[in-house]
């Protein structure tokens, strides 16, 4: 069984004390492939060091996270673009919009999202979308930019069934993580109506730990808890779901 964590921040400071142990524990649990989303330029070195330490397991993305879109966002976008010339990246992510914490940089978030979508299309790469309190705004831009070259993952999907169908219509897989195990997560109520071909697994470690670790630091080994929940929802053997979702991740990332 090969599991793929399509979204994990293993370079985060949360793992500075035990990163190697955390990664080896995940590998022991069957997680062989880790896709690593970017936040901003301050994490570039940490991401490259992670890749160099586990070259067979780590697959990097380049991108500017919407909550890190500030006054200097154009410099950050230039950095995202420059990285594509010097290293192998498998997606532009995580990108999108986040209006939960602050709406100060709404216009800049929109501009950064559009730019990075266009960068992805230009480089024939998928996108990985972060969306929080911004479904309408994200869908508006996806509608403007939609094309056969626009595809990817709607990371940490927490929307409604209708929003799930809409995301899929833009050639997006749904990234399903710890939220599916929450009593108030809601997505478990309709997920069985979404074809598994549209699903990939993720942890978003160190955030959003699944039950029974909710409230504690998340790690990629806990992807098994997400897998087992999906096995229960779909009434399909866990190994089959692992194989299907890993195949789906390969379709997105090309590896």
pLDDT in tens, 223-234: 999 999 999 999
Cα(24)–Cα(33) distance, rounded to whole angstroms?
12
Tokens encoding 93: 């992510």
Superfamily of domain 3-253: Metal-dependent hydrolases (3.20.20.140)
How many Cβ atoms sit within 10 Å of the Cβ of residue 184? 5
> What's the average model confidence in pLDDT over 135-139?
97
Above 90 in pLDDT, residue 184? no
Residues contacting residue 230 through CB under 8 Å, at least 6 positions apart: 176, 180, 191, 199, 201, 236, 238, 241, 245
> What's the average model confidence in pLDDT over 131-138?
96
pLDDT in tens, 28-44: 999 999 999 999 999 99
> What's the average model confidence in pLDDT over 127-140?
97
* pLDDT for the residue 102: 87
The whole-chain average pLDDT of the chain stands at: 97
* pLDDT for the residue 25: 98
* pLDDT for the residue 101: 86
């Amino acid at each position: 069984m090969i599991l793929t964590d399509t979204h994990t921040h293993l370079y985060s400071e949360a793992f500075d004390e035990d990163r190697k142990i955390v990664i080896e524990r995940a590998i022991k649990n069957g997680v062989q492939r880790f896709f690593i989303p970017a936040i901003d330029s301050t994490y570039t070195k940490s991401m490259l060091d992670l890749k160099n330490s586990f070259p067979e397991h780590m697959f990097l993305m380049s991108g500017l996270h919407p909550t890190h879109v500030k006054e200097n966002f154009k410099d950050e976008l230039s950095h995202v673009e420059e990285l594509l010339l010097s290293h192998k990246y498998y997606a532009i992510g995580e990108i999108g919009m986040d209006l939960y914490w602050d709406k100060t940089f709404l216009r800049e978030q929109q501009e950064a999202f559009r730019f990075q979508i266009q960068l992805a299309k230009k480089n024939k790469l998928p996108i990985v979308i972060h969306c929080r309190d911004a479904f309408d705004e994200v869908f508006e831009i996806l509608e403007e930019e939609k094309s056969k070259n626009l595809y990817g993952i709607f990371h940490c999907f927490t929307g409604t069934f209708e929003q799930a169908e809409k995301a899929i219509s833009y050639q997006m897989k749904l990234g399903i993580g710890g939220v599916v195990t929450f009593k108030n997560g809601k997505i478990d109520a309709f997920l069985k109506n979404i074809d598994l071909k549209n699903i990939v697994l993720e942890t978003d470690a160190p955030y959003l730990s699944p039950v029974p670790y909710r409230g504690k630091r998340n790690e990629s080994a806990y992807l098994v808890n997400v897998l087992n929940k999906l096995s229960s929802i779909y009434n399909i053997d866990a190994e089959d779901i692992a194989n299907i979702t890993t195949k789906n991740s390969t379709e997105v990332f090309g590896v």
